[in-house]
Structure 1
Amino acid sequence: MIDVDDLIALVRNYNPKTNEAKLRDAYDYGMAMHEGQFRHSGEPYFSHPVAVAAILTEMRLDDATIITALLHDTIEDTGSTYGQISERFGPDIAELVDGVTKLTNLQLSSSETKQAENFRKLFMAMSKDLRVILVKLADRLHNMRTIKSMRPEKQVQKARETMDIYAPLAGRMGMQWMREELEDLSFKVLNPEGRNSIIRRFITLQRETGDVVYQITNDIRHELETEGVEADVFGRAKKPYSIWRKMQEKSQSFSRLSDIYGFRIITQTEGDCYRVLGAIHRRWRAVPGRFKDYISQPKSNGYRSIHTTVSGRDGKRVEVQIRTRQMHEVAEAGVAAHWSYRDGVRAENPFAVDPSKWIATLTERFESAHDHDEFLEHVKLEMYSDQVFCFSPKGDVVKLPKGATPLDFAYAIHTRIGDSCVGAKVDGIRVPMWTRLKNGQSVEIMTAEGQRPQATWIDIVVTGRAKAAIRKSLREEHRERFIKLGRELARVAFEHVGKKATDKALKTAARQMSCNTVDDLLERLGAAELPARDVVRALYPELDTTGENVDQKRAVLGLRQGQRFERAQCCQPVPGERIVGIGIPGHGVVIHAIDCPTLEDHEDTTDQWLDLQWHSGPHGAVNNVTLNVTISNDAGVLGRICTLIGEQKANISDLHFVDRKQDFYRLLIDVDIRDVEHLHAVMLALEAESDIADISRHRDVTRSAQGAH
């Protein structure tokens, strides 16, 4: 374990003005609180907070962050309290320690609903003070470095969580070195054989070709000397997980994978970066499509660098990154560079982003999410996406995630442009909406008045902004349609009992049913969230005839005295149809239509079959039947369907859409009818309607009967 003097020395290396007494006090306090506690490895527990603090010194972070690291487990694992830490070290550090404690308790790899809520809490903590997540990432890094002492199943759980959440988050914050190490440590747990096979191939490759990194580094240095540019050159083989991912993405074997080496050139000035680029491209052939200029178009986390891939020695592809010293500091520390110190003062790096602005851009559209899935989608899109840069016809640059389409581009410019988009040109050529954009392309969006977002667009776009805007527009469009449909359903239901659905009646019903406005009530009716008969019942309970016109005991003949029965929901038999009863112990008798396919399941138990028939007398409108209806997507069609059903003295009890296409909708309509003749009359009236493409009786053999009479 690092002792207090060595830790202070690490801090003093970059911050001679550090508050040594406060660091020492935090060290002593943490050690005293964790006294008698041990890690799974058998080491004193306090060795872990000290190691986390040491990791953060590598990023030259301020005293408050280092002290938070030393104390980050005290509230959770010891008798220490928020109040005690606030009194001894100040409210700022107490807030940071409390924030890390709350993050530690979040189960980010839990079920989707809980995961979304926990991600909200994660981003809330980040928005208060980003240093909380820096301590948490360092905490996770040290835990992954020492994971071997944990139980195997716990190792897998932690490694998966690290790979899915913490590694991408570190990358999004610009801390690429931490992302790579977290990924590789997780890879070591999740697929040790895959990792070892890559390492073995590397060793074989080095034996066959010699030290390629050393050779190419010397080649680059020679070119820079010729150019007269002073720069540092570093080379390395890429991490095993990075190579494994490329093999999976490209479906290539290791022997066919070429860009497994990376080189970094650190220059004195920005101008030198472009001189180096020219020298590299003159010496080696550039690989098309593998050039990115993040100096002229920085990433949102402050990252600046030139990336290019060239064919080096023996045709081997090598990736080269070119940046200045200041750019390199931000590339290593990412957003954390904002807090880094040098010579006792906060380093004024012009490329370090303001954390509050960065977190604002990251969470900009999270709050527009209406449900857990949508929120999680936004988080993952914003956290895990790489970027491409495209140009508008005026030359403005639009940043988009990898895989973005012209529709994403349109919504990135303005929601109005996205909503009215009818087509796009990329580099002057008309392309489909689902085309994946590439770096440097020029995109022109074509719009038309009256165009509205289509439901299929959700599957085309990849950005959270576009998805949120499309969903909002669809909700508004559906609301208008549902209100119209709801008004028709209400009119028919009220006429069914000899009343009129006046504005006053609907307003009273809305109040009775806890709806804020009449439109809210009608929308719920149209969206099938509320049966129309419930609205009628709320105003005229004395007129509710549901279930009262038929003596249920006499509805079916052939049952024993007092024997219960229920209609099977798979075939929904109605009076006038031939029926058979199946005796179900504990459930009475389930009545099926004689042609119901599910009767095959009872062929071996014919002793349970009962020969039944409906009562020949009149039946009230109490039998529910589901109709499968395909209609054209035109204005007023749904309203006409409601009117036709109402004219046949039938009642719509439920309605929902099962398939929405550009020109046709398929929906299921639950209708209350008297008997089979009444059903035929309803279906005949609908079949005659020109906008109804198809109508049939819906039978669902997966449904079982519910509730006995």
Structure 2
Amino acid sequence: MPPIDDAAVPDYVREMEQAASYLTAPQLAMVRRAWTIGAAAHAGQTRKSGEPYITHPVAVAGVLAEQKLDAETLVAAILHDTIEDTPLTRACIAAEFGDTVADLVDGVTKLDKLHFRDRQEAAAESFRKMLLAMSRDLRVILIKLADRLHNMRTLGAKNPESRARIARETLEIYAPIAQRLGMNLIKAELQDLGFRALYPWRHTVLEKRIRTQPVVRREALVQIEANLAQRLAKEKLPHRLISRVKSPWSIYTKMRAEHKSFAQVMDVFGFRIVLRTVADCYHALGVVHATYKPLDARFRDFIAIPKANGYQSLHTVLFGPYGSPVEVQLRTEEMDLIAERGIAAHWSYKDGSEGPNSAQSRAHNWISGLVETQHATGSSLEFLENVKVDLFPDEVYLFSPKGDILSLPRNATALDFAYAVHTDVGNQAVAARVDGKLVPLRTRLANGQRVEIITARSSMPKPQWLEFVVSGKARTSIRQQLKHIEHEDAVQLGHRMLDRALEALDTSLERVPAERVEAYLQEHRYPRLEALLADIALGNRMPSQVALQLSREAGARGGQRRAEPVPLSKDRILITGAERGVITFANCCLPVPGDEIMGYHTAGKGLVVHRMDCPNVADYRKSPERWVAIGWDRKVSGDFSAALRIEVDNRPGALASVAAAIAEAESNIDRVEYLERDTHIAVLRFSIEVGDRRHLANVIRKVRRLGVVMGVQRI
């Protein structure tokens, strides 16, 4: 391609090339070539503002050039919309600039919205694809963040509805991702632009209040700056002292989270002290604390324990003159670069900073965890929700028994910690030791605690766990394991039900020819036998009908003769009570182990278990084909719901006496409600948990002995 006359190069390209002046001449020529190809591909396309479309990708490359990204990233940024919006193909880009650039462009490209039900699902799936591309090359997210930043800078051309939607998405997803990757400069601008677009009036008011702070406060700031600079100079500590003002968004979120007015948010101002070495940082901290008293419990050492995104600094809050708290951050030059640019700083260094604490390696670890999570989630929307949970900026830092540091979202529990260690540890967790003290899995953890997880091979995840875990990995792992357990239970129960139905026809599943089973599965579109068995257990197929079709003569085809009714098997299916995924216990009679029971096959619910003396059983006799003969296995597990109607003398302390007697009988109380009440007698319903009929009888016996109780009966 012939060189382009410099006079023909527009100003917006010159500005981008000026920002990229750190590149070599051949690299700059490659970036210029990318512009000519991109401009030709986007020819005739314009943005909402009326400008040529190519101005947008070039501006995105300019944002990345300010972060000193490599030439390949800048080329990919200029071409990032070509595959989606122009005839230019991935193959063409690969032929011209290599596979790496083509992969970067492909990773940023959104998916076609026509494949999805709505815009929300399209955005979620596009986000999932982008994260997978990030796992191969982190520069994908850098291009995407720069793309979003330029879109936010030029948001004025959009209609109000689009502005609000894009701003909300930016604040919920893209700004937290920038923070998670340590890119504070981009994060701060995304938050400010998002806040301004979503709440323009609130942004204006806060910006004005920050600008017009009382003169006293500003004088105090100048005085503090002078004092700190003087003390640091006396200690011969070379430093850069930068005063900083909190952004409208950070003040707004603090006001909202802590329910404070603007006047109550005191630490609006702060200082950053940048020093040469880590030793200088700790030395300077002593100087700062000797100059002004620190506020108790507000000191944080992120140098010894870096944040999950690689951020390192010492944070302290000083009690300044006029009673105003002042935040001070101390860090080295390298830490300052990583705090400002995060993973983008990696490309500024020739050595790449690949240590275990580098922003680069931490980002890779985080994204690897996300990729592992996305394989387990059922839908893109669920995956996106889990990622949002993991993007909360507030974290707690915890120690394993070996001294390893793990970071978890705010309000994380011992169970979240277990899943952070390993999925198998989480699945088999039964309790935890926090700082040597035994605690339940739902215990919330605080910074600096030492956590040890106690496991048991027989332990399995419970649905209640989903109520208190907060990390995306824990939530996804629990859901996946519960689905797996339910599926296994359904397959086993379906196998037993089909076997009983075949036994009634003097055959069994083993004796049915394999080709006949395969033909049945193909005819009814089941990928394998397990899927059919699970469907039987869930009540979507009647075992008697399946048995008839499988047992008839090989030459007979469906519909050629009328199916005879299948005699019910006299052998009962024994249940343990652990098959909670496919067996439910009827609320009308609340059966417990030891009761005579029957099963009713219900579509979608599987087996619903009733007591034989349940009043509703008479109605079920009208559909004998749905009856399933069941009984209790010798080994039953878990707690079972039961209900008692208790009449008591209506006097103070009666309810407490009954509750104490139930607890003494080692039964849990789920719920208590008054059925009737007058001046003398109260009738209460106690919903309790028992192990079996004998346990229930023991509870009733203990309650009957109470002087305040006039009558007890099982409901």
Please report the TM-score for the alignment, with normalisation by the length of structure 1.
0.72
Look up the match of 1:293. Answer: 301
Tell me the amino acid that sits aligned with residue 180 of structure 2.
R
Structure 2 CA distance, aligned partners of 1:92 and 1:19? 15
Match of 2:605 among 656, 672, 679: 656
Contact 1:493–1:532 (Cα < 8 Å) also in 2: yes
Structure 2 CA distance, aligned partners of 1:657 and 1:373? 28
Structure 2 CA distance, aligned partners of 1:108 and 1:268? 53
Q: Give the secondary structure class of the aligned counterpart of 1:170.
A: helix
Match of 1:258 among 254, 259, 266: 266
Match of 1:524 among 516, 532, 535: 535
Look up the match of 1:221. Answer: 229
Comparing 185-194 and 198-207, the one that deviates more: 198-207
Q: Give the secondary structure class of the aligned counterpart of 1:321.
A: strand
User: 1:54 offset after TM fit, Å?
Assistant: 1.8
The answer to whether the aligner puts 1:70 opposite 2:78 as a matched pair is: yes
Q: Give the secondary structure class of the aligned counterpart of 1:389.
A: strand
User: 1:268 offset after TM fit, Å?
Assistant: 0.4
User: 1:540 offset after TM fit, Å?
Assistant: 5.1
Match of 2:282 among 256, 264, 274: 274
- For structure 1, which runs of at least 5 residues remain unmatched after alignment? 548-625, 646-650, 696-709
Alignment of 1:409-488 (within 5 A): 409-448=417-456, 450-488=458-496
Look up the match of 1:2. Answer: 11
User: 1:17 offset after TM fit, Å?
Assistant: 5.6
Alignment of 1:110-129 (within 5 A): 113-129=121-137
Look up the match of 1:621. Answer: none
Look up the match of 2:5. Answer: none
Structure 2 CA distance, aligned partners of 1:202 and 1:154? 29
Look up the match of 1:154. Answer: 162
Structure 1 CA distance, aligned partners of 2:314 and 2:513? 65
Contact 1:654–1:670 (Cα < 8 Å) also in 2: no
Change (3 A) 1:87 1:398: closer
Change (3 A) 1:258 1:652: same
User: 1:400 offset after TM fit, Å?
Assistant: 1.8
Alignment of 1:183-194 (within 5 A): 183-194=191-202
Look up the match of 1:336. Answer: 344
Look up the match of 1:166. Answer: 174
The answer to whether the aligner puts 1:209 opposite 2:220 as a matched pair is: no
Q: Percent identity?
A: 39
Structure 1 CA distance, aligned partners of 2:30 and 2:446? 52
Contact 1:116–1:376 (Cα < 8 Å) also in 2: yes
Deviation track 1:103-136 (CA, whole Å, cap 9, x = no partner) reads 7979999566544432321112223332232222
Deviation track 1:430-486 (CA, whole Å, cap 9, x = no partner) reads 444333212112224344563333221122222233234433443444345434433
Please report the TM-score for the alignment, with normalisation by the length of structure 2.
0.71
Look up the match of 1:408. Answer: 416
User: 1:382 offset after TM fit, Å?
Assistant: 3.6
Q: Give the secondary structure class of the aligned counterpart of 1:319.
A: strand
Tell me the amino acid that sits aligned with residue 389 of structure 1.
Y
User: 1:526 offset after TM fit, Å?
Assistant: 2.5
Comparing 97-106 and 259-268, the one that deviates more: 97-106
Tell me the amino acid that sits aligned with residue 652 of structure 1.
H
Structure 2 CA distance, aligned partners of 1:23 and 1:78? 19
Contact 1:68–1:97 (Cα < 8 Å) also in 2: yes
Structure 2 CA distance, aligned partners of 1:421 and 1:357? 24
Look up the match of 1:538. Answer: 549
Q: Number of matched residues?
A: 592
Tell me the amino acid that sits aligned with residue 504 of structure 1.
R
Structure 1 CA distance, aligned partners of 2:122 and 2:49? 32
Contact 2:517–2:550 (Cα < 8 Å) also in 1: no
Change (3 A) 1:85 1:218: same
Contact 1:51–1:142 (Cα < 8 Å) also in 2: yes
Tell me the amino acid that sits aligned with residue 189 of structure 1.
A
User: 1:537 offset after TM fit, Å?
Assistant: 4.1
Look up the match of 1:705. Answer: none
Comparing 433-442 and 212-221, the one that deviates more: 212-221
Please report the RMSD computed on the Cα atoms of aligned residues, expressed in angstroms.
4.3
Tell me the amino acid that sits aligned with residue 549 of structure 2.
A
Match of 1:353 among 339, 360, 365: 360
User: 1:178 offset after TM fit, Å?
Assistant: 0.9
User: 1:411 offset after TM fit, Å?
Assistant: 2.7
Change (3 A) 1:349 1:16: farther
Q: Give the secondary structure class of the aligned counterpart of 1:403.
A: coil
Alignment of 1:560-639 (within 5 A): 628=587, 631=590
The answer to whether the aligner puts 1:504 opposite 2:519 as a matched pair is: no
Change (3 A) 1:239 1:272: same
Q: Give the secondary structure class of the aligned counterpart of 2:448.
A: coil
Q: Give the secondary structure class of the aligned counterpart of 2:127.
A: helix
Contact 1:340–1:346 (Cα < 8 Å) also in 2: no
Change (3 A) 1:461 1:76: closer
Look up the match of 2:576. Answer: none
Contact 2:601–2:607 (Cα < 8 Å) also in 1: no
User: 1:258 offset after TM fit, Å?
Assistant: 2.4
The answer to whether the aligner puts 1:135 opposite 2:143 as a matched pair is: yes
Structure 2 CA distance, aligned partners of 1:318 and 1:107? 52
Structure 2 CA distance, aligned partners of 1:469 and 1:93? 35
Q: Give the secondary structure class of the aligned counterpart of 1:504.
A: coil
User: 1:2 offset after TM fit, Å?
Assistant: 3.5
Q: Give the secondary structure class of the aligned counterpart of 1:302.
A: coil
Structure 2 CA distance, aligned partners of 1:108 and 1:266? 49
Deviation track 1:122-151 (CA, whole Å, cap 9, x = no partner) reads 112223332232222112211211211222
Contact 1:513–1:538 (Cα < 8 Å) also in 2: no
Tell me the amino acid that sits aligned with residue 601 of structure 2.
I
User: 1:423 offset after TM fit, Å?
Assistant: 2.8
Contact 1:532–1:652 (Cα < 8 Å) also in 2: no
User: 1:81 offset after TM fit, Å?
Assistant: 4.3
User: 1:405 offset after TM fit, Å?
Assistant: 0.7
User: 1:659 offset after TM fit, Å?
Assistant: 12
Structure 1 CA distance, aligned partners of 2:431 and 2:205? 48
Structure 1 CA distance, aligned partners of 2:605 and 2:179? 44
Deviation track 1:355-407 (CA, whole Å, cap 9, x = no partner) reads 65563244233223344454334433344454321123443322222221111
Change (3 A) 1:6 1:163: closer
Look up the match of 1:230. Answer: 238
- For structure 2, which runs of at least 5 residues remain unmatched after alignment? 1-9, 553-560, 567-584, 645-715
Structure 2 CA distance, aligned partners of 1:201 and 1:281? 30
Deviation track 1:139-194 (CA, whole Å, cap 9, x = no partner) reads 22112112112222222222122222222222222212211211111111111111
Contact 1:96–1:129 (Cα < 8 Å) also in 2: yes
Q: Give the secondary structure class of the aligned counterpart of 1:210.
A: helix
Contact 2:408–2:417 (Cα < 8 Å) also in 1: yes
Structure 2 CA distance, aligned partners of 1:104 and 1:283? 60
Tell me the amino acid that sits aligned with residue 453 of structure 1.
P
Match of 1:243 among 215, 239, 251: 251
Look up the match of 2:326. Answer: 318
Tell me the amino acid that sits aligned with residue 531 of structure 1.
M
